[in-house]
Amino acid sequence: MKKWALQLLVSALSVLIAAEILKGVHLGNTLSALLVALVLSFLNTFLKPILLILTIPVTLFTFGLFLLVINAVIILVADNLLAAFSVDNFWWALLFSLVVSFANSILNAMLGTSDNKKENED
């Protein structure tokens, strides 16, 4: 539970950074970033696996690049669910998902919260 809460805070910070950098993404306030991170976490847990299964042929044909489209669609679904979060169009959603992923990677590396870190290092 503690690790999930820390990851949620890291994601919220990534959302804040991405919204600040990209002019096509609009965020209400700092608390909205936490709500966006929570909704994205929920959508990635429940909606993304369904979309992945439904789009296996396209994903294989595009050598996995269609996963970027799925991520952008999830961002657009979050946009429709939250009033305090807005993305201008599909391309901004695609760029937002890339920036959030990049920021998450950097923040996780800085904080040492990545999933692939060994529990007991010698």
List, for residues 58-106, the tens digit of each pLDDT value: 999 999 999 999 999 999 999 999 999 999 999 999 999 999 999 999 9
Sketch the domain layout of the chain as residue ranges: 2-107
Q: Which residues 6+ apart lie within 8 Å of 120 measured at CB?
A: none
The model's pTM is: 0.88
